Amino acid sequence: MPRLHYSQLRYLSIILLAWLAVFFLTRSVLLIAHLGDAGVSLANLLGLYGVGLIYDLSFLVYAAAPLALYLLLCPAWLWQRRWHQRLLIALAAVSLFAMFFTAVAEWLFWDEFGVRFNFIAVDYLVYSKEVVDNILESYPIYPLLALLAVLAIGLTVALRRPLRAALQAPRLPRLRAAYALVMLALLVGLCSGLVGQDAPRSLGGNTYQRELASNGPYQFFAAFRNNELDYQQFYATLPDAAVAEQLRTEVAEPNARFIGSDPQDIRRVIDNPGQARKLNVVLVTIESLSAKYLGSFGDTRGLTPNLDELRKHSLVFTNFYATGTRTDRGLEALTLSVPPTPGRSIVKRIGRESGYASLGQQLGAQGYDSVFVYGGRGYFDNMNAFFGGNGYRIVDQSSVDESEMSFQNAWGMADEDLYHQALKVADSDHAAGKPFFLQLMTTSNHRPYTYPDGRIDIASGGGREGAVKYTDYAIGQFLAQARSKPWFDDTLFVFVADHTAGSAGREDLPVANYQIPLFIYSPRYVKPAQYADVASQIDVAPTLLGLLNLDYVSTFFGRNLLRADHAPGRALLGNYQHLGLFDGQNLAILSPRQGMRRHNDALGLSHEWRVDDADPLLRRDIAYYQGASHAFGKRLIAWQPDAQSSQQLSQR
């Protein structure tokens, strides 16, 4: 075995030991900050640090491989050059800076999302301008980088003697260098075969403990590799016939007639009773608005006076849940009425994001002008391609004149400016005698939490509380302006969040953290009431079309919640790995590597149990997600305008 008195190994060991020390400190600081949530015993603590060490070493094997390869192959004549040795010392300084930067980035990411680097961090890299602008507006980034640079230089100076001693030590003989290369290759292969995104850390149990046992950089690259997961390969399955039967049972309604030839095709003709009502629809999707922030849901800080007043005059869904933890998941569920299949949302599956039977397509076929109105730049999260390819025209920040925007930050224009654009579109369509469907997406309730001055009594940039209160203020102003419009009486206003402000918890899918508000407001057509059964974002589209009494051909996985004969409620919720079904009391969870669990009393003590596919709730869970993955792969949710027209005509 090569000994560490050889130059290359001594130099490399100094860098790797420094990285290990920072990984240890990062894990310890995060643990101390969340000691109550993690709930660790001595045995858990030993396991946490033991598993963490495996991930730390695995990452360092991958990260150090290119440098180790260079050090072992570097010729003696080059190694001995003074400039080369200075270059290696500078490289050590750069490595230390990267080490400190990673530690700080992990802390900030954990503070925002409650987890190590994951699929969200990978996703954000694609939209670097918005993310970088957001970071610059949220944190004192330049002083922070300067401080990290000073720390890295200071530590390099402190390590100058051992680094120089390492570089001046005898070099590995060729035979031993070859042996070290073979060992390096074996280590890389061993890590690749034995260590994965969820092994040795296990599925289930306390999520904080599992995340603390992870390594942020390792999980980042693992998430990058697994950004799309094949359902059949990674998750528990049922026979196709069983999925078909269960899935059709889930979506069946007395006014629905299945017409798909594939047994798992849920395409069906929906015959809504009564005269069709061509009411305008304004669907406002609000960034990160957890139900817990609303006074009418129990908050005592007075952040949402306008929404609290609106609740008194609306149809309110008090047990309503987001499907995911990101904006694209909320838009996917509201637009396509599909469960959150593993990996990327359909919104972001570039090249496969278009041509679906969306809510916009359905209303467009009925003569509506379907418009997606976004406060930011629509290339973010691939929104423009998704909505433009599914029956909508686009109004976003890039199509709005600078003079019409009173305020902008990293994510886009202020909510009040977004609503101004929506009013312009509505006025134009009304003047042309055309019903409109406006699907809005706001941005102000997002870090850096900045908004125009003088609107509310909390200073801009002060945190989430101010952003929530400004979001509420802008909604109040929008409705006040809309009430003066000639089209107001014939318009349905829908206010719903895209997801909550934070979804991290002790469980993989902490149900309470997915709760969001849903208000439907139309003084002439919708009586104020409360709907208390469990409901999901995927139920919004069929419920709206039911309110309009429109007949259509549906590929929706959701239900019309307002039918008197609706089935018992359920909510589909997940993240990019774990897929859940909540029935109002218990939660079934599907995880990669065929993991199957359920949490009884999911909103209470949440007892976790291992189950198999004989469990009824688990079978429902599988049917939704296996069926949705099959439907996406086979294009069973594609828009078929000819079939739509012929099927509706055949009913009359």
Numbered residues of the known binding site for substrate: 446
Is-contact 442 471, C-beta < 8 A? yes
CA angle 151, 152, 157 (to 5 degrees): 95
Q: Which residue has the tokens 């409901």?
A: 535
Amino acid letter, residue 592: P
How far is the C-alpha of 323 from the C-alpha of 499, rounded, in Å?
8
Length of the chain: 652
Q: Please give the full DSSP string across 588-635, using - where no structure is assigned.
A: EEEETTTEEEEEETTTTT-EEEE--TTSHHHHHHHHHHHHHHHHHHTT
Is-contact 513 502, C-beta < 8 A? yes
Pairing outcome for strands 491-497 and 518-521: antiparallel
What H or E segment, with its residue span, contains residue 398? none
How far is the C-alpha of 372 from the C-alpha of 395, rounded, in Å?
6
CA angle 453, 478, 363 (to 5 degrees): 135
**Beta partners for 581?**
572, 588
Q: Which residue has the tokens 């997600």?
A: 625
How far is the C-alpha of 435 from the C-alpha of 429, rounded, in Å?
7
Does the active-site annotation cover 543? no
For the beta carbon of residue 463, count every other beta carbon within 10 angstroms: 12
How large is the C-alpha radius of gyration of the chain? 27
Q: Write out the binding residues.
A: 287, 327, 446, 498-499
Is-contact 325 503, C-beta < 8 A? yes
How far is the C-alpha of 469 from the C-alpha of 303, rounded, in Å?
5
Which member of 156, 207, 323, 327 is catalytic? 327
Q: CA nearest 362: which of 269, 251, 257, 285?
A: 269
Q: Write out the binding residues for Mn(2+).
A: 287, 327, 498-499
How far is the C-alpha of 222 from the C-alpha of 468, rounded, in Å?
34
Q: What is the token pair recorded at 564? A: 């008197």
- Write out the catalytic residue numbers: 327
